[in-house]
Structure 1
């Protein structure tokens, strides 16, 4: 008999009274234990498990002794499958607060005798009370338990069947909703946050149609394996149905971290798959919402992440997007834009502008890229960043794309010399069966030489109907029309694409050019690698988005054949271009700032600023990741610390770096992050729980009216 058992028997005897001996009481308890009516356990004052009754040890098997001496929180764990039925507080909280435990289901993991990392789970229902001695000192827990392992395993398997997706084994929609609801309910009292990410596979339908439904099912299984392998213990991955997945990640609200997570998901999903010996390539778009900032319940959070995914897909495939409150109004605007866009082509509201591609050594134009523009009769100019993604979600992109080829060929015939014209072709348009016929018709009706026409396509063209794309490439090349790989390195990159199609040019995306002269930036090495690769394959390179003289010097020095960007010219209308070229003047002189500066977004909106004990209403004139220009802080000297209220719980700390007639310049202490739609947001926000503690009604953060206007870039 152990010392603890001896002391415990004496304690039991005293509680039973003088009519029972310690020996007979222990015998009664032993008989109860053998009858499997109940099992007994106890901890010491440090909450370490020090006693298991014989029946309890027999239930757990030969390795039961291995858990004695462990902290009870390590032994008794909350089952991971409780879902919505999970208690509000974890059992460790109960132990740490020395609370009474009533009818609590716990999981006990026992290691294998020979292979320690193999564990078997047992399930008990436990009840316990904290024990205090005559002095009031905590002496541990005294508890009883009943073994419910078999029934719990059976219930777990049944629950798994009803709560898990049959095809992939992931959590299904019902289970995810229960899990999210339970998580939000448990997190609210302790003011914890969680993120929801929704993924929609790009080009899955094409794979399903071309390779068949069994191949589509296998693809979904492989995607689920990649997602769970990437997320691991950080969160829960589920399949909502079709090609939609959702991920719940607890205890994260930093949008910088979530950006890295989303970019990693996009990268892992976009790697090629092998299905029945055939190669398949897809991509994904990711929407992100964070509770309680974007929603305090399942309905609000689910609606927010839905809109965020819609924003990601509207911004182009293979991207991520955070939810922002203005998405609700933007969604209504997009419905209206889609309706107006149907009439825009017929009513002549669409037109093409042309941006030169210039040889940086001679400063002479070699080609002009046709860019779509829309002048709305009531709303004025509508950015192509808005209407092109909307068109791509419908058949409108096919009509608009066909019109653009015809119009570009007709315009190019009027240009002096032998300047080429480059036209962007969407993936849907390129995969269409009649694109070669459309190109041939445009060349025939305009009289333009095929060698003066270039079609720019992105890597997304090769995702899906690969055979159809191969046929289109061969037909277009046979005509004498050139193909250019646009945005190289930013999509579903593969060197195999360069071998697959007869490309004549590679365009280095502006994301590699922007900021390439900054100290420590790795983009110069990437630019060099792309240029070297192109030269080895006999292709020319175009550096996009060049704006500053130091960028021009770098890309030209690294061997880029052509340069495109505001350093030479903004896009010109056809009439403006003809005026520039009327005297056969094909020279464009570089003109721009000496050095690259962080991109600034031109805005005019009211924000708040706090300096000391004073609150100011100020005007935000422009903003970048690292700073902004304000009006309304006159008299505050340089070096002063200011907190800028950007709305929606977004506060950014900064320091006044200059003050003058044009306003005040402020440098941010922590850089802002991209929201996935070209906007800038703070990495973190003030929690609604904190606002509620200050007397504000608990609700998801809403952007106030004075902060509701979205910024528009002054870049293109």
Structure 2
């Protein structure tokens, strides 16, 4: 809108194109209906006064006729005003505007009758009195009826002209001039009053329109969003209750309105006064009249704990008076529970409910800060279950998971305020000792853990035995950071496992050197084949009766360029841990088959196979390829396995060996009696040979009754199963004679030959050939 409205536009004579004046005109004229009774009453009073002035001077019939005419035009004018009562909600038409102006003109003409005709029947004094009455109507119209300025001007102009002319005819020129001056001032005042009124109406309409827009947006907000609106007065009582807010409270709007806001959301704590901290925070902000946003509040609705997110701002009117608070809220219970669940999953192990690696790291870091602050010590214990892999592989992962859950429960029983245990992953657990300053505390915790975890477990009608190995490191002595402490405790654990398990070892600096040596050894082992550092030696196996060579066992040797000669007991476990045994074992199998083609056709070659090789899907194909590429008869190849292969994946291992047997190869069970010695293995698979471990041979040589009994039992069992037996580790003639008497089929040991290179093995047959010749 322009800063100053044009006069013609205010009067309604002209409508500028840049604005919707039909709409503005409706705002201007809509209030006329409200003031119609007052205007009619004013005209009636004025008419009574006019009759009083001219009563006696003018005939009664004329006065009555005039009054009736006035009542008629006033009725017509009121009807026009009533028809415009709703003009503020629509556009006013030009026809309605003209009807209103015509009605005012009729009223003015009726008032001109006493001014123009009754005056000639009375005196100038009576004319002046009548004009005074009419001028009151003019002033009232200019001030009160500012909504219709053109009508007021029409009334003022017509009545003023009639009065001026009548005064001039009566010779009262001063009065005539006064009337004309008054009419001019009245017209000017009417225009200004109408301009001010119209600007006020426009501003009022703008406020109403904005309020309607806001209400519309709020309704749309509540209808389309999960949030809701809330409002409280100065007494913190709920006002203007929205349906969604009352629904969130589990009540009807009537039950909510006027109730204390905090009482509605506090639940039972309202009576006790024991509010949640978040409710205290909300109450303080309301008390301080402080705006807040995204405040998470714990509420109690119908006895159920929920979480609300509230935002609010104080209501201040134009005079600065505080009226209360209003804001928006939403129920974020599900989101918060999801967030808490995510946070829990991020810090706790789902299977055992123990703290996970992340939380253990935080606890150890906190313990190290505590140790640094108070010049004390902390400790970290890393423990690993012994024989857990065997349980997992033989009974399945479901039983293994149940076992881990029981282990975690036992660990929890051993913890106190100074210790915290958690699961690192798999069957590895960690324990943080916050204050390890007391002498022997680490050793005491480790021994309690080993003792408790070594007790039997009953799971699904199975009695299981597993132990624990523990490695520990002290902070800050064994490391300045969490990573160093955990790495060094892992090194100590590795040593405990190497020692056979069920032990606790503390970290020593030499362990780091061993770990570095292992790392370098692994690096070299990965390049051993391509650098031609691997070779095979062959140890003869002879017939127990005639002592003729019947087979050779292929034994792997590694002469490293960096490390020199590395014993099998050192690099074979490393190869199995790193799964390098797969390519190495394939190479051994191929080379052994190639070399065996240089021997007499009745001599077999025995190749040791790791459990890691057997679970490979391509193992049988590897055997076929080695036989076909070398041309060796499958009956001359014997695969040697130990009982441990059945603990990894018994079904897969058995299936692989059955495929090998189907090719024509034979299978020998090595180190029988030192492992689990389950007769079920002998029943499930057709072994051709059982090899008696050297420990029993040496024990029998020393007249150990137990060793002698075991050898006799194995020989008897093998004979009944139509299997041969091979005694290992025979080093003297007396031992050979003893084994022969015990009934073993074949003998292997230093007495008949140490492991030798391929050329020396061939030389055995060359010498035998020359002797025969």
TM range (shorter): 0.3 to 0.5
Instruction: Using CA pairs under 8 Å that are at least 6 residues apart, name the structure with larger relative contact order, 1 or 2.
Output: 1
The answer to which structure has the higher strand fraction is 1
Bigger Cα Rg: 2
The answer to which structure has the higher helix fraction is 2
TM-score scaled by length of structure 1? 0.47
TM-score scaled by length of structure 2? 0.44
